[in-house]
A and B are shown apart, each in its own frame.
Chain A
Amino acid sequence: MSSGTPLDRRPVKLLIVDDSNIVRRRIERSQQFDDLQVVGTAANGFEALELARRTDPDLVTMDLTMPQMDGIECITQLVKLKPALRILVISALADKATAVEAMERGANGFLNKPFSDRQLNEAIAELMY
């Protein structure tokens, strides 16, 4: 069978990072992609780095305002660890400067909270395909 067919394409591995359990579950429940596999969830930057080393994700959704290690610092370290990683920031911080800083550190997309299921799936799709 030739490569690239749906049967032999491996799932995209997703790591969800947010200090809210409710938001983590919401992202996990609302994503509608058959070829997306949630490989872990983390409540802060330290947990995210540890899980990224263990699970080797392709895609990360990243909150910014978190205890212990915030999202901006975590993005910086994740990109050093895995430069090809795609990172979607999902944050309530709605000023342009924050989005620009996140992108400069290595994020690939930015979605503001609160978000609808449709907005979430569109944002994930943009980074998956």
Chain B
Amino acid sequence: MLREEELKTFVEGTTRYFEVAAQQPATIGSPYLLEGETAMHDYTGMINVSGKREGVVYFTAPRAMLTVLLMKMQESDFSHESMRDLVGEVANTISGNARRDFGHDFVISVPSVFAGEKPQIPQPPGARSFVIPIHWRSHSAKLVVSLT
């Protein structure tokens, strides 16, 4: 079952992503245990985790935040496809970086992306879900880590 101290890996991964990719640090709020469902933003990128641990890691963000993030990356394409691409890449990068601490057997999938629809998030038995709030500029997003 995911332990609270293991969340540090994902908090650090999120911090690193915004610092390096957006060149502007995000503020990370206090993670909290998710009971039931959480509200999704406009775009969600989800990674399935298998191997030593099972579950999902997903990043959900509003279109406005993703637009500014793309601008900070000097992108000029703000299409629906770019938004989908970006949430998938953020989820992939943070999950992949987690292997630094979780090891090679923390196997991650390619991203699944949801937009404008309520995603079906699989919840393996025994998994605990934590929400990591992300505040960047005037926008808010979430990273949800749900692992056995």
Contact count A vs B, C-beta below 8 Å: 66
Of residues 56 to 90 in A, which have CB atoms within 8 Å of B's CB atoms?
65-67
Given contacts A29-B74, A92-B93, contact A66 B100 (CB under 8 A): no
| Distance of A23 Cα from B110 Cα, bound (Å) | 15
The reply to whether the CB of B75 lies closer than 8 angstroms to some CB of chain A is yes
Chain A positions within 8 Å of B, measured between CB atoms, are 19-23, 25-26, 29, 65-67, 91-95, 97-98, 112-116
Q: Is the CB of A95 within 8 A of B93?
A: no
- Residue from B70, B94, B96 in contact with A91 in the complex, judged by beta carbons closer than 8 Å: B96
Chain B positions within 8 Å of A, measured between CB atoms, are 16-17, 20-21, 70, 73-75, 77, 81-82, 85-86, 88-89, 92-100, 102-104, 106, 108-110
| Distance of A84 Cα from B104 Cα, bound (Å) | 28
Q: Nearest chain B CB to A42's CB is how many angstroms away?
A: 15
B residues less than 8 Å from A114 (CB atoms): 16-17, 20-21, 93
Q: Is the CB of A19 within 8 A of B93?
A: no
Given contacts A22-B89, A26-B73, A65-B92, contact A95 B103 (CB under 8 A): yes
Q: Is the CB of B93 within 8 A of A113?
A: yes
15 extra interchain contacts, Cβ-Cβ under 8 A, other than A22-B86, A26-B74, A29-B74? A22-B70, A22-B75, A25-B75, A26-B73, A66-B110, A92-B93, A92-B94, A92-B95, A94-B96, A95-B104, A97-B103, A113-B97, A114-B21, A114-B93, A116-B20
| Distance of A21 Cα from B89 Cα, bound (Å) | 10
Majority DSSP secondary structure for residues of A touching B: loop
Q: Is the CB of B100 within 8 A of A94?
A: yes
Chain A to chain B contacts (Cβ below 8 Å), 9 pairs: A20-B85, A22-B85, A25-B77, A65-B108, A92-B96, A92-B97, A95-B100, A95-B103, A95-B106
Q: Is the CB of A21 within 8 A of B96?
A: no
Considering residues A91, A114, A116, which has the most beta carbons from chain B within 10 angstroms of its beta carbon?
A114
B residues less than 8 Å from A97 (CB atoms): 103-104
A residues less than 8 Å from B104 (CB atoms): 95, 97-98
A residues less than 8 Å from B20 (CB atoms): 114-116
B residues less than 8 Å from A92 (CB atoms): 92-97
Q: Is the CB of B81 within 8 A of A21?
A: yes
